[in-house]
Amino acid sequence: MWGIDSLSVKLMESGELIRFSYRVIDPARAKVLNEKRNEASLIDPKAGVSLVVPTLEKVGQLRQSPTPEAGKSYWMAFSNRGRVVKRGDRVDVLIGTFQAKNLVVD
């Protein structure tokens, strides 16, 4: 439906960031995921938190936003300050009208 596959949610090294990645199979449908104007959030219902993509002073938002291309993988990182979301938790990722529910954090 969204023109993507190979969805994954992984804790990054320190556990302070969570990486959401996906591979584009239909660039027209996947466009909504790469548009910076669409806010992204990662929700962990069990922990009762909604994480956002941080913006760093010199780098900008920790997400890729080029025009999607078929066969390429893209990612974004969510701030997990306090390490509230843990490995094995089930989370939802929302980006504009896109919703991926019940993804397991690896």
Q: Is the pLDDT of residue 27 over 90?
A: yes
Q: What is the four-CA torsion angle of 46, 88, 94, 10, rounded to 10 degrees?
A: 140
At residue 83, the pLDDT reads 95
Q: Which CATH class is domain 4-104?
A: mainly beta
Both tokens of 7, joined, read 């969805």
- At 41-94, the pLDDT tens digits run 999 999 999 999 998 888 788 999 889 999 999 999 999 999 999 999 999 999
The beta-strand segments (E) located in 25-88 are 40-44, 49-52, 55-56, 60-61, 73-79
At residue 13, the pLDDT reads 80
Instruction: Provide the β-strand partners of residue 104.
Output: 90
Where along the chain do its domains lie?
A: 4-104
Q: Could you give the CA distance from residue 25 to residue 86 in angstroms, rounded to a whole number?
A: 29
Q: Is the pLDDT of residue 14 over 90?
A: no
- Give the predicted TM-score (pTM) of the model: 0.93
- Of 70, 89, 84, nearest to 22 by C-alpha is 70
At residue 65, the pLDDT reads 85
Check: CB of residue 34 under 8 Å from CB of residue 65. yes
- Residue with the two structure tokens 């893209």: 74
At residue 57, the pLDDT reads 82
